[in-house]
């Protein structure tokens, strides 16, 4: 076999985008969007504070979309960051 051949015959599979891209809901990570919507619904519907609930949802979703644009896995990174103690704190 020569090095000019890019792949071995029979060892090629299509890779679907759903296997490599993160799950986003409205541009935000799915778990964050669901949690944010639930908290906003509790404030808006449960406490009947409609405008603060809407403002909370808009602010939370905008922050989640901003974070997902920077790094789609920012929640996993943040969770790992919280898990380990700081080594350089005095």
> Does 3 have pLDDT greater than 60?
no
Q: What is the pTM (predicted TM-score) of this model?
A: 0.73
Domain borders along the chain are 26-82
Q: How many CB atoms lie within 10 A of CB 54?
A: 13
Contacts of residue 30, Cβ cutoff 8 Å, sequence gap at least 6: 23, 24
**Which range, of 4-8, 21-25, 84-88, averages the lowest pLDDT?**
4-8
């Amino acid at each position: 076999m020569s090095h000019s051949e890019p792949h071995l015959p029979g060892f090629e599979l299509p890779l679907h985008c759903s296997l490599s891209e993160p799950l986003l809901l409205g541009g935000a990570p799915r778990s964050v969007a669901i949690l944010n919507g639930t908290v906003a619904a509790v404030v808006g519907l449960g406490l009947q504070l409609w405008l603060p609930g809407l403002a909370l949802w808009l602010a939370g979703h905008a922050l989640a979309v901003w974070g997902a644009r920077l790094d789609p896995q920012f929640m996993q990174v943040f969770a790992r960051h919280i898990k380990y103690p700081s080594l350089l704190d005095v």
